[in-house]
Amino acid sequence: MATYLLTGGCGFIGSHLAEALLARGDQVRVLDDLSTGKMENLRPGATLIRGDVSDAAAVRQAMADVDGCFHLAAIASVERGVRELLVTHRVNLSGTLAVFDAAARDRLPVVYASSAAAYGDAGPLPLEETTYPRPLSAYGADKLGCEQHARAAGQVHRLPTCGLRFFNVFGPRQDPKSPYSGVISIFCDRLSRGEGVDLYGDGEQTRDFIFVADVVAALLAAMDHASPEAPVFNVCTGQPTSVRMLAETVASLCDTPLEIRNRPARLGEIRHSLGSRGRAEASLGLGTPVGLRQGLAATLDWMRQNQAPAAPYPSSERTSMTMPTQSTAETPTISSAASGHPSLPSESGTAASTTWSAASDAASPAGTLGLIR
């Protein structure tokens, strides 16, 4: 049994990773400022230190006596990085440096979230880890910066790290309620209510959408590959889907007509993003990824069970509610997620923990991937 610090553990991907670590008997300490994460995402059994990852003292304190760190805390929106450059830079790059600095004291292994956004408009497709990155956004540049600093920390301090370039991750618990949310969560939320969707640009831009259970598998495997050589792996499916095709697929799964509102293309956007799985398959031993339809069915299933009543969108009130700011000077506060904690309703309203049972599209019909309680 090991103890891990998990930054961003109240977020979408972090909550699934926490669940997997706890399920195998590890202890999980979460550092999160709850800016985009939610208290209800804190998994029963995990401990929360509420603090800012770019606050070096808070990170050092949170890192005490752990065996390793999964670093996921970040402002995950490319679009928000365009609008709030310095804030996202502080969290996404300085926050990662604070993690490396704290971990370097005891040479603790760090697995951290990089991004496909680091590639920018690099080519050819599919993108290999050896492709020379050419970020198009500040968010992508900062994620690439994390990788460069991981290498430097490996050379100077022998810090063992492993970086994962997640492509577009989706699944249950991805919050659809902010204008900065991931496209799948927004489309599933809107179309399951029978509402229309916004399409930025011509909709022919493509993404490599990967289900969250596959990302968790990669994170767990990566901890054994953290080394001072600072390896980096793609976490992707190798399957392209256009945003328009995505909208059509979700509409058909929701059995609703598709109403599209065309919007101008976003700044800093990648046109085509498609990864090669070769290196990750060979080194991390990852299995066949969950198919898009199957992952979408599971996401819609979860959304139907947890959907809040329709709120005006985008709503500034809602956005500010989910993005409270925390001063870096504030002392981090600690709380625990024990089963039955009054502020921790589980997704079904019970205190039961949740595990994923994933099988490939070919192995089982869409929709059989679901929550086992």
What residue ranges bind ligand NAD (CB under 6 A)?
A: 8, 10-14, 31-37, 52-54, 72-76, 91, 95, 113, 115, 166, 168-169, 182
Binding-site partner at residue 313 among ligand NAD, ligand UD1, none, CB < 5 to 8 Å by type: none
Nearer to ligand NAD, 72 or 150 (CB): 72
Binding-site partner at residue 53 among ligand NAD, ligand UD1, none, CB < 5 to 8 Å by type: ligand NAD
Binding-site partner at residue 200 among ligand NAD, ligand UD1, none, CB < 5 to 8 Å by type: ligand UD1
Q: Active site includes 139?
A: yes
CB 209 within 8 A of CB 182: no
Nearer to ligand UD1, 167 or 302 (CB): 167
Six token digits for residue 310: 């329709």
Minimum CB separation of residue 255 from ligand NAD in Å reads 26
Six token digits for residue 93: 């790059």
Name the amino acid, one letter, at 12: F
Helix (H, G, I), strand (E, B) or coil at 168: strand
Nearer to ligand NAD, 158 or 266 (CB): 266
Which parts of the chain are beta strand (E)?
A: 3-7, 27-32, 47-50, 68-71, 110-115, 161-166, 168-170, 197-200, 206-207, 209-211, 232-235, 241-242, 260-263, 333-336, 355-357, 370-372
Binding site for ligand UD1 (CB under 6 A): 76-78, 115-117, 167-168, 180-183, 186, 197-200, 205, 207, 243, 266, 269, 273
Minimum CB separation of residue 276 from ligand UD1 in Å reads 14
Nearer to ligand NAD, 84 or 364 (CB): 84
Q: Kindly give the interhelix angle for 12-23 and 212-222, rounded to the nearest 10 degrees.
A: 60
Nearer to ligand NAD, 321 or 363 (CB): 321
Q: CA 13 from chain center: how many Å? A: 4
Binding-site partner at residue 8 among ligand UD1, ligand NAD, none, CB < 5 to 8 Å by type: ligand NAD
The active-site residue, picked from 4, 112, 119, 139, is: 139
Q: Kindly give the interhelix angle for 243-254 and 292-306, rounded to the nearest 10 degrees.
A: 60
Binding-site partner at residue 4 among ligand NAD, ligand UD1, none, CB < 5 to 8 Å by type: none
Minimum CB separation of residue 226 from ligand NAD in Å reads 17
Residues 6+ apart with CB under 8 A from 245: none
Binding-site partner at residue 37 among ligand NAD, ligand UD1, none, CB < 5 to 8 Å by type: ligand NAD
Annotate 283-312 with DSSP letters as a single string: HH---PPPPHHHHHHHHHHHHHHHPPPP--
Minimum CB separation of residue 96 from ligand NAD in Å reads 9
C-alpha distances in angstroms, 20 versus 200, 203, 212, 245? Answer: 35, 35, 12, 32
C-alpha distances in angstroms, 204 versus 163, 245, 266, 272? Answer: 29, 8, 13, 9
Minimum CB separation of residue 186 from ligand NAD in Å reads 12
Minimum CB separation of residue 267 from ligand UD1 in Å reads 10
Local structure of residue 226 (DSSP, 8 states):
-
Nearer to ligand UD1, 4 or 166 (CB): 166
Q: Which are the catalytic amino acids? A: 139
